[in-house]
Amino acid sequence: MAFARGLLLLSLVSLLAYTSNAQLSAMFYAGRCPNLQSIVRSVMSRAVAQDPRMGASILRLFFHDCFVNGCDGSVLLDDTATFQGEKNAGPNSGSLRGFEVIDSIKSQVEASCGGVVSCADILALAAKDGVNLLGGPNWTVLLGRRDARTASFSAANSNLPGPSSSFSSLVSAFGSKGLSIRDLTALSGAHTIGQARCTNFRTHIYNDANVNPSFSTTRQQTCPQTGGDSNMAPLDFQSPNRFDNGFYQNIMNRAGLLHSDQELFNNTAADAFVRVYSRNSAIFANDFVSGMIRMGNISPLTGTNGEIRVSCRKTN
């Protein structure tokens, strides 16, 4: 079932989200940077065409930004001699990518309307386009976030759920951000695109009981018990570069790549959502968009708080 069938419902969801959050607005840059969304779309189109995995990488950047002190662009800040940011925290080090794509978007946006658009908003728009360019839903991104002047290495180490997380840990992490089990299950569907390193799924495919033996055997061919930590495998082996509901079909067949993925279908409160999403891609698309909008509303800096960075990698 095509995602397009749910577009009307998605538009209604976006409108409802707009009316429920007065701080952010779909039209925030309409007068001051009318070319913003076309610039973001153009750069993302080229990036995804060159490397389809980039759609997943930018989406992951947005997740990791919002889960650490809100959607404020803090994940984009480079370390300096006197400042330790989030890029080298455990969940991010050596695995986050796509910073150069955000840099390219920011450079073009600055040339079009300097000092107007935040890196946090650019990241939110780029994440949406990454999903849509890989066949996923489209939605109206609410804008008006400002950029943080700092970042938190410690919060990045403690706030981000990891690949070995239990279901209760996932529920707690998402719940602390105001996200429900339904949001958790829908947003985890982001793992229908992208790849993971062997070091993040080795324990699952060798030691966990709730794994399809055929699936684990296949994955063990590229992820040995020792060595090969950086070897990659697709999170969704059926259609790794297509944003669809295959992720849920996989975990129902005990073919989730990560322990945390398979926890969503392991006799928990998420099981019912997994079953629905595996059958109905339009419902998944609707719930994913709702979750993305709610996640994008986590503690944004607005008004006179924060700043509009000239470079996403450093504060002004």
Assess whether 64 carries a catalytic annotation: yes
Q: How many CB atoms lie within 10 A of CB 38?
A: 10
CB 303 within 8 A of CB 273: no
Which of 64, 191, 204, 259 does the annotation list as catalytic? 64
CB 220 within 8 A of CB 202: no
Residue 20: helix, strand or coil by DSSP?
A: helix
CB 68 within 8 A of CB 156: yes
- Find tokens 């986590």 and name the residue: 298
- Find tokens 């706030």 and name the residue: 159
Helix 36-50 crosses helix 53-66 at what angle (to 10 degrees)?
130
Q: Of 1, 59, 73, whose CA–CA distance to 316 is shortest?
A: 73
Q: What is the DSSP letter of 195?
A: E
Q: Of 236, 286, 34, whose CA–CA distance to 143 is shortest?
A: 34
Catalytic residues: 64
